[in-house]
Structure 1
Amino acid sequence: MRYDMPGPEPAQPIGVFDSGVGGLTVLRALTARLPGEDFLYLGDTARLPYGAKSPASVSRYAVQCARVLADQGVKLLVVACNTASSVALPALRENFPGLPVLGVVEPGARAACERTDTGRIAVIATESTVRGGAYHTAIRRIRPNAQIHSLPCPLFVALAEEGWTDGPLVEGIVQEYLRPLFARFGEQGPDTLVLGCTHFPVLCAPIARVAGSGVAVIDSAATAAAQVAEYLDQAGLRRGKQANAEERVRFMATDGAGRFARVAGVFLGQDLTPEQITIVDL
């Protein structure tokens, strides 16, 4: 069902949704880059992870999440989930024709193409994102001759959500994933590594150490925030910094306010309480 909306206005909030808490890395980058904007964040914690779901299910869930945010009058929808960004953008744009929709795959792919010198680009993501080939498609659209290899890293999600973001155990798991992935490129290896899941930036330190100084690590959260800022400026929708006002964020989840608040500290860099999380029913 199409959801017709009036044109967006600068004073409206920005809507951000993810399958759970990983998208909080995108929210963190957005609030840092866009002081004064209001944000609504929705984590679909009742149905996570999206990474192992079918494309049809992910698209259906994404439309349901978007409807919650659209009902609250957002001016822009940020799909802070690589899996949903890889399969659900067409469904979102069809169902919400008046609502601008931005994902995290395209800005990550663009940043990788701008950074690489050799065209050898590695991608780590969820199973669904890798299976769908969204990064391959987006990168080759910009750089047709790029050599791309990708690998699903499901344990990274579990590590991030448990708050295990560094140390010998984490570094050992990172090595187990990256060693065979990098070997696919031959002796020279890749020169660019895309973190194709919004959980992965909290593991950036051990990932960067294992990858080595010759590999540029692309954070899809940071690149998405840069694209949002660029879009708002071009569309005349940036609210700008407000005098005597901090950025304001409202948090929603579909289940588990207590766990959401506990895990959010790892991704958002600030403590939340369960009372700050509104549970919504999709």
Structure 2
Amino acid sequence: MFVQHPIAVLDSGVGGLTVVKEVMRQLPREKIIYFGDTARTPYGPRTPQEVMGFTREIVSYLIQYQPKMIVIACNTATAVAMSDIRSSVDIPVVGVINPGARAAIGRTSTGCVGVIGTEGTIRSEAYEIALRELSPHVQVISQACPRFVPLVERGNFRSRETYDTVRDAIGHMKRYPIDCLILGCTHYPYLTDAISEVMGGEVALISSAEETAREVSAILQDKRELARSNQLPVHQFFCSGEPCMFRLIANQWLGEQIELTPVVWQVPTIG
């Protein structure tokens, strides 16, 4: 009997659900196992050693489900831990930084790209390195936004507080000829309305979710490991912290993507 191995997706909290939604849209037959480390979010202010340890711990937990691929849907963990995780498992590991950088370089006309992310991601300069590898003369304007992730984890997407927080953090970036802005944290697409209002409609917002899902699809197709079952997959969602807000946000964000698909919600003993 054919066993359908899942795609494992991990994040510091609910942010990676933006990647899950796109994977589900592009690859509706694939089973997803998602781990949101809501007990220890946000990762951005933490040391690289802490982020490395958390990521290793989650991967060790997810490996028991025999995934055929791991997607690190957290920019901070991608920047800090992806190379280490790739060397420790014998399945493909995909991050979210390179796909986002490729999308931005393909979109920019001015050659000036903005990047917003957590303190850890911005400190790592991972996006600047990835962007300049693709286009050596690109101008990169980076800004850490440490107050964004807590807003999202509370489900506070569209309040006056949200707009004011976004304006205070990135309003000054309008001084530069930025024509596309990389949302360098998978939590940030939840704040798209406020970010777009602050930056203006002429600035394209680049979420790495779509490009990451394309990369997942291409790798699985190349390895001939795309799901072949005609049955609906049963997805599994784990969070390490209090599950009520996690489940509420997941249901709101994924919407029709999980309305007709069986879902199992679990709180594992980790974190």
* 2:53 paired with 1:66: no
* 2:268 paired with 1:279: yes
Distance in 1 (CA, whole Å) between partners of 2:233 and 2:65 is 18
Aligned to 1:12: 5
Partner secondary structure for residue 244 of structure 2: helix
Assess if the C-alpha contact under 8 Å between 2:33 and 2:237 holds in 1.
yes
Cα shift readout 1:181-218 (whole Å, capped 9, x = no counterpart): 232x2xxx201100001111111122122222221110
Aligned to 1:203: 191
Q: Percent identity?
A: 36
Deviation for aligned residue 1:239: 1.2
Partner secondary structure for residue 267 of structure 2: strand
Distance in 2 (CA, whole Å) between partners of 1:119 and 1:66 is 37
Partner secondary structure for residue 154 of structure 1: coil
Code of the residue aligned with 1:127 in structure 2: it is E
Partner secondary structure for residue 140 of structure 2: strand
* 2:131 paired with 1:139: yes
TM-score (structure 1 length as normaliser): 0.87
Partner secondary structure for residue 77 of structure 1: strand
Distance in 2 (CA, whole Å) between partners of 1:167 and 1:46 is 24
Distance in 2 (CA, whole Å) between partners of 1:10 and 1:122 is 43
Assess if the C-alpha contact under 8 Å between 1:10 and 1:238 holds in 2.
no
Deviation for aligned residue 1:174: 2.0
Find the partner of 1:99 among 88, 91, 104: 91
Distance in 1 (CA, whole Å) between partners of 2:108 and 2:145 is 22
Deviation for aligned residue 1:32: 1.1
Distance in 2 (CA, whole Å) between partners of 1:118 and 1:229 is 30
Mapping 1:7-156, distance limit 5 Å: 11-96=4-89, 98-156=90-148
RMSD of aligned alpha carbons: 2.2
Partner secondary structure for residue 232 of structure 2: coil
Distance change (3 Å), C-alpha of 1:44 and 1:207: same
Assess if the C-alpha contact under 8 Å between 2:149 and 2:188 holds in 1.
yes
Distance in 2 (CA, whole Å) between partners of 1:158 and 1:266 is 17
Code of the residue aligned with 1:137 in structure 2: it is I
Deviation for aligned residue 1:108: 0.4
Distance change (3 Å), C-alpha of 1:66 and 1:95: same
Code of the residue aligned with 2:71 in structure 1: it is V
Deviation for aligned residue 1:173: 2.4
Assess if the C-alpha contact under 8 Å between 1:122 and 1:182 holds in 2.
no
Partner secondary structure for residue 217 of structure 1: strand
Distance in 1 (CA, whole Å) between partners of 2:187 and 2:113 is 20
Aligned to 1:6: none
Cα shift readout 1:102-151 (whole Å, capped 9, x = no counterpart): 00011001100111111100001101000111100111110110000111
User: Mind listing any 5+ residue stretches in structure 2 that lack a counterpart?
Assistant: none
Q: Number of residue pairs matched?
A: 266
Find the partner of 2:240 among 235, 254, 259: 254
Assess if the C-alpha contact under 8 Å between 1:36 and 1:248 holds in 2.
no
Aligned to 2:168: 176
Assess if the C-alpha contact under 8 Å between 1:261 and 1:277 holds in 2.
no
Deviation for aligned residue 1:91: 0.9
Code of the residue aligned with 2:146 in structure 1: it is P
Distance in 2 (CA, whole Å) between partners of 1:232 and 1:267 is 25
Assess if the C-alpha contact under 8 Å between 2:51 and 2:81 holds in 1.
yes
Assess if the C-alpha contact under 8 Å between 1:10 and 1:239 holds in 2.
no
Runs of 4+, deviation exceeding 6 Å: none
Partner secondary structure for residue 88 of structure 1: helix
